[in-house]
Amino acid sequence: MFENIGGKIKKLAIIGLVSSVIVSVIAAVIIFKTAAQNSTFTGIMVIVAGFLVGYIEALVIYAFGTLVENSQILVNASREQAAAQYAQPQERRFPRAEAPRTETSRTESPKTEAPRGEVPRKDCPHCGTSNNGKNTICFGCKKSI
């Protein structure tokens, strides 16, 4: 029932468009048969309005169905990527860059000047990993910098 829900929503949009057109044509035929002599314009307007309302409704519902399908594709891709990432050995996922250790106190960490447009880096005093200058927690050892 809940398999391929995006495709089912898209089919529902098409069915809604077809039924809207059919109902508007039937309403126009009834207007042609029962109304006064000047009912031709009214009948044609009912057909046009029915088609436009059905088309706009179908566009919105079909777009939602496409959105659901695409989000399901993204969820499946991220699950596969996460499964592949966790299947790797622990050491390979986050290789540590060996940075030279410097003599610093725990309250201050060395900041290196970065060229314009690049993010400044700072080294962790605990493990020596080079981190983004804006981070307050080390990427390597998960301790406060």
Write down the pLDDT at residue 137. 80
Q: Residue 115 pLDDT more than 80?
A: no
Q: Are residues 70 and 103 in the same domain?
A: no
Q: Which of 55, 70, 93 corresponds to the end of one domain?
A: 93
Domain housing 45: 5-93
CA–CA dist 35, 80 (Å, integer): 63
CA–CA dist 125, 29 (Å, integer): 83
Which residue in 135, 142, 108, 112 sits closest to 125, CA to CA? Answer: 108
Write down the pLDDT at residue 93. 54
What is the enclosing helix (H) or strand (E) of 131? strand 130-132
Read off the pLDDT of residues 34-83 as tens digits, 9 standing for 90 and up.
877 778 888 899 999 999 999 999 999 999 999 999 999 999 999 988 88
Q: Are residues 121 and 83 in the same domain?
A: no
129 band by pLDDT with thresholds 50, 70 and 90: confident
Q: Are residues 41 and 99 in the same domain?
A: no
Q: Are residues 115 and 76 in the same domain?
A: no
Q: Which of 49, 75, 93 corresponds to the end of one domain?
A: 93
Q: Are residues 88 and 100 in the same domain?
A: no
Write down the pLDDT at residue 99. 64
Write down the pLDDT at residue 91. 57
Number of domains into which the chain is organized:
2
107 SS3 class: coil
What residues contact residue 42 under an 8 Å CB cut-off, 6+ apart?
31, 35
Q: Are residues 71 and 10 in the same domain?
A: yes
pTM: 0.54
Q: Are residues 89 and 103 in the same domain?
A: no
CA–CA dist 51, 20 (Å, integer): 7
Q: Are residues 25 and 78 in the same domain?
A: yes
Q: Are residues 78 and 100 in the same domain?
A: no
Hey, which residues does 121 pair with through a beta bridge? 132
Write down the pLDDT at residue 67. 97
Q: Residue 127 pLDDT more than 70?
A: yes
More confident: 141 or 38: 141
Q: Are residues 35 and 79 in the same domain?
A: yes
Q: Are residues 85 and 72 in the same domain?
A: yes
Q: Residue 145 pLDDT more than 90?
A: no
Write down the pLDDT at residue 75. 92
Q: Are residues 33 and 45 in the same domain?
A: yes
Write down the pLDDT at residue 121. 80
